[in-house]
Chain A
Amino acid sequence: MVWSATTQGRALVARPNGRIDERNWQVFSDSLVAAIETARVAGLVLVVDLGTIDYMSSRGLRSLSTALAAAKTASVAMVLAAPGEAMREILAISRYDKLFRVYDSVAAAMEHGAA
């Protein structure tokens, strides 16, 4: 997994890519924690762009929900964006599409979630 994060308008857009599974979930989790802190300090919404994720196992998903709880505590809005076909199915199977606001694109997240 490679992680990058850039500020776009009022949002911090995080872009993990590749597979997130038992081999790299800790890096993913640590990166989410750092991004929440960056977003909190700068007053930004955190948009996690899932567009280049191949798949995410339960450890990645659980890292996401742990991060969501931390984001709420830090008063940071956190949304998911641009899931591909596999990630969209994984979010539905795990019912994470009920836990998170999920947007079809980063632009849509910026427009609705980050507005």
Chain B
Amino acid sequence: MLVRFWGTRGSLPVAARAEAVRGKLVAALLAASGRTFDDAAAAEAFLDGNLDFAGRAGYGGATSCVEIDAGDGNFIVCDMGSGLREFGISAMARAAAGHKRRYHFFLSHLHWDHIMGFPFFVPAFDPDATIVIHSGHADAETALRRQQEDISFPVAFDWLRARIEFVTLVPGEYYDIGGTRVSIVEQFHSHLSYGFRFDTGGKSVIYSTDSEHKAENMAAEARFEAFFDSADFVVCDTMYSLADAMSLKADWGHSSPPVVIDLCRAAGAKRLALFHHEPAYDDAQILAMHRDAISYERLTRGDAPALDVICAYDGLEVSV
């Protein structure tokens, strides 16, 4: 499987302001002071060797949208955040080159930041496309139709040209969809959310965002350890620090790096992607959060196998 991240930010799309871009340019120029580069490749090699990820690139600002390419010719996409617009452009190009025009969406929940990309999803206007929207929520169609009502958006849902179906999934059941076996788990979040597990060819990917793991009910986390069991790749909401998730932002429905690292370790998962980044964080803060998460994994590993902790960014591709 190949996992492509089209949107990794939580709650609200963000973009770097002019002064943030300028600050990176100034730092890069200072780092390169006195050097010359023969070509772009040499300049890129310098950036990679001398600047950290926050300095040479950035995590992006589109909200949740993750493509899982299972290799059977169907599109599989988790959530419809603002990153969906970019995915739609890419999908149209791939469809023009012969890719099947069948899209399987899996919605974690129906909050705005997870569905806002759909009105801008170009394949929805393709009369040859079939779009199947899977969700644990029976009211998914209501949510998508409502955001395209006249008061909110100029293009009505009924004007879309693709064939669109809605399917409600149930925890505890297994479904064969798009060449994968799919199961879902109910999560703690306002109006509930659902995590998804995709298994195919002996590999497994978990998508678990907008999921709070309550301190008052830690014994219940065995349910998630079972759901994450031996997963090859886990994408998890790590929006807040543990202290914030336990205090100011308790009941806001999000998790923290230490909690999900512990869940992955207990489940025997192999790799974790930190995801659904706090929109108030700049690139340096996300990088610091990632470094802290790596340190926490090392400090609390004990005699368990190492867990590879990476940090998702818009444009990241991970082979599973």
Listed in ascending order, the chain A residues whose CB lies under 8 Å from chain B are 19, 21-22, 25-26, 55-59, 61-63, 65-66, 86, 89-90, 92-96, 98-99
Contacts and interface: CB of A to CB of B under 8 A. Distances in A.
A90 B296 contact: yes
Contacts of A62: 215, 218, 242, 246, 259
Contacts of B258: 57-58, 61, 93-94
- Which secondary structure dominates where chain B touches chain A? helix
B262 A59 contact: yes
Nearest to A65: B246
Nearest to A86: B299
**What is the interface of chain A mostly: helix, strand, loop, or mixed?**
helix
A26 B247 CA distance: 20
B246 to A, nearest CB: 4
Contacts of B256: 58, 94
A58 B218 CA distance: 10
B225 to A, nearest CB: 9
A21 B259 CA distance: 11
25 contacts: A19-B302, A21-B300, A21-B302, A22-B266, A26-B219, A55-B300, A55-B302, A58-B242, A58-B256, A61-B258, A62-B215, A62-B218, A62-B246, A65-B247, A66-B215, A90-B299, A90-B300, A93-B258, A93-B295, A94-B241, A94-B243, A96-B242, A96-B243, A99-B246, A99-B247
A89 B261 CA distance: 16
A70 B296 CA distance: 26
Contacts of B295: 89, 93
A47 B304 CA distance: 31
A99 B259 CA distance: 17
